[in-house]
Amino acid sequence: MKSPIFKTVLLAILFGATLAGVKTYYQYQGSKSETAKLYQNIGGDFSLTHIDGPFDLQRLKGKPSVLYFGFASCPDICPLSLNKLVKAFDAIEPELHKRVQKVFISVDYKRDDAKKVHEYGKYFATDFISLAGTEEQIKDITKKYAVHFEFVPLENSAMKYTVDHTSRFFLLDKYGQVFNSYSDIIYDGQFKLDLIEVLK
Amino acid sequence: MKVISLFLLFSLFSGLDLQAQVIEDAWIKKPLPGLKMTAAYMLIVNPTDKELVLEKITGPDALYYEIHTHKSENGIMKMRQLKSIKIAPKSKHELKPMGDHIMVMQTNNELPNKLKTTMTLYFKGQKPKEINLEVKKSL
Ligand SMILES: [Cu+2]
């Protein structure tokens, strides 16, 4: 019962609940800068690999970004999420599209490399920034962004293992700071409002 | 006499088989570029009085076909393999994106260019059933 997974899940719930509570409070206060303050503890610098070479948070600065963590051998959740990411931008003016970066990060460091994720991301949008990393790099970034991922063996499957992962979208402002995060960005009106905010 | 009983037996079995299960709207997602895997979906209708159990799938365009399901727990997406899919008497079971699916792995190079493919479904205690699936470009 008191397995590490149980503890992680419990921590995640507590973290989520705290975040939600604090967020409501700040929304009540109506202060944008204070909403931002709430996220100052998650996010931060990372180092990963893009098909063109090393890639870190510095590269994302200057424009807002939306990050999604997943893995390429994921048959529907990841494709549907990446498609949502593309579709969600329909909510903003077409000329603003180019000002927001769409980022896909594969947590499956055993199966996915920069080339594979680049090919994958390109399918959804040609300007997708798709990143892969080593075990150490992935552990570092997921810890910083509070993303849970876990390799789960599939005993009798040709797939050998699957990757359980948090399905969440992170909005980063042009300074590379996490502005907000969402479980869904198509039906979440807040995402559109936040997007307009970070594009100011 | 022997011939008649054989005939009766045959018509009984073939009659059962005709009524056994109906597969509707079967389709397979065109594999994404660079990927050797995809998923297939369909509606399985069980008009009989007995439980229907899908146990195995084979096909010509991939090496492995498995029964999988998806679930979301506390915002964490999980995919798991299932031994079988049970369809209760007089009911339907839909394999659909984000839910139960047939995971298709080690797909061949032809599949992305095909408009249709086939699969053979093995239901417990039934004759194998060959079905046609539309290859659809989908996310
Ligand atoms: Cu699967």
A172-190 pLDDT per residue, tens = 999 999 999 998 888 888 8
User: Over chain A, what is the mean pLDDT?
Assistant: 83
Read off the pLDDT of each residue in B97-114 and give the average, rounded to a whole number. 95
Residue whose tokens read 């600065």: A61
Asked if residue B13 is part of any domain, the answer here is no
B12 in contact with A at a CB cutoff of 8 Å?
Answer: no
Q: Which two tokens stand for residue A97?
A: 């599209």
B82 in contact with A at a CB cutoff of 8 Å?
Answer: no
Q: Tell me, which fold does domain A47-198 have in CATH?
A: Glutaredoxin (3.40.30)
Read off the pLDDT of each residue in B11-28 and give the average, rounded to a whole number. 71
**pLDDT band at residue A99, thresholds of 50, 70 and 90?**
confident
Provide, as residue numbers in chain A, all residues whose Cβ is less than 8 Å from the Cβ of B29.
75-76
Asked if residue B7 is part of any domain, the answer here is no
B107-139 pLDDT per residue, tens = 999 999 999 999 999 999 999 999 999 999 886
Q: Which two tokens stand for residue A36?
A: 């931002």
3-class DSSP state for residue A196?
Answer: helix
- In this prediction, residue A1 carries a pLDDT of 42
B139 in contact with A at a CB cutoff of 8 Å?
Answer: yes
Cβ of B76 and A119 within 8 Å? no
B66 in contact with A at a CB cutoff of 8 Å?
Answer: yes
- In this prediction, residue B115 carries a pLDDT of 97
**pLDDT band at residue A198, thresholds of 50, 70 and 90?**
very high
Q: Identify which has the larger pLDDT, A9 or A51.
A: A51
Cβ of B78 and A162 within 8 Å? yes
Asked if residue B4 is part of any domain, the answer here is no
Q: Which two tokens stand for residue B27?
A: 């389709």
- CATH number of domain containing B109: 2.60.40.1890
B37-95 pLDDT per residue, tens = 999 999 999 999 999 999 999 999 999 999 999 998 988 999 999 999 999 999 999 99
Map out the domains of chain A as residue ranges: 1-40, 47-198
B115 in contact with A at a CB cutoff of 8 Å?
Answer: no
B6 in contact with A at a CB cutoff of 8 Å?
Answer: no
Read off the pLDDT of each residue in A85-106 and give the average, rounded to a whole number. 83
Domain total for chain B? 1
**How many Å apart are CA B93 and CA B67, to the nearest integer?**
13
Terminal Cα-to-Cα distance of chain A (whole angstroms): 48
Provide, as residue numbers in chain B, all residues whose Cβ is less than 8 Å from the Cβ of A124.
139
Q: Which two tokens stand for residue B138?
A: 């989908």
Q: Give yes or no for residue A69 having a pLDDT over 60.
A: yes
Q: How far is the CA of B64 from the centre of ligand 1 (A)?
A: 11
Nearest to A120 among B32, B81, B105 (CB): B32
CB–CB of A79/A120 below 8 Å?
no
Q: Which two tokens stand for residue A7?
A: 């503890």
- In this prediction, residue A25 carries a pLDDT of 39
Interface residues on A facing B, Cβ-Cβ cutoff 8 A? 9, 12-13, 16, 72-77, 79-80, 82-83, 116, 119-120, 122-124, 148, 152, 154-159, 162, 164-168, 183
Range of the domain at B80: 19-136
A158-176 pLDDT per residue, tens = 999 999 999 999 999 999 9
Asked if residue B121 is part of any domain, the answer here is yes
Distance of CA B78 to the CA centre of its chain: 21
Q: Identify which has the larger pLDDT, A38 or A121.
A: A121
| Count of C-beta atoms within a 10 Å radius of residue B127 | 12
B88 in contact with A at a CB cutoff of 8 Å?
Answer: no
Cβ of A12 and B34 within 8 Å? no
Percent of chain A with pLDDT over 70: 80
Q: What is the number of CB-based contacts under 8 A between chain A and chain B? A: 90
Rounded (to 5) percent helix, strand, coil in chain A: 45, 20, 35
Q: How far is the CA of B67 from the centre of ligand 1 (A)?
A: 7
Residue among B12, B66, B5, B4 at smallest CA distance from B37 = B66
Q: How far is the CA of B21 from the centre of ligand 1 (A)?
A: 24
Q: Which of A18-27, A40-49, A140-149 has the highest mean pLDDT?
A: A140-149
Contacts of A149 (CB under 8 A, 6+ apart): A69, A107, A138, A142, A163, A164, A165, A166
Å from A119 to nearest chain B CA?
7
The predicted complex's ipTM stands at: 0.76
Asked if residue B1 is part of any domain, the answer here is no
Q: Which two tokens stand for residue A21?
A: 């509570």
**How many Å apart are CA A114 and CA A108, to the nearest integer?**
11
Asked if residue B11 is part of any domain, the answer here is no
Q: Give yes or no for residue A47 having a pLDDT over 70.
A: yes
**How many Å apart are CA A32 and CA B89, to the nearest integer?**
56
Where does A15-174 show beta strands of DSSP type E?
47-50, 53-56, 65-70, 101-106, 129-131, 149-153, 161-166, 169-172
- In this prediction, residue A29 carries a pLDDT of 38
- In this prediction, residue A149 carries a pLDDT of 95
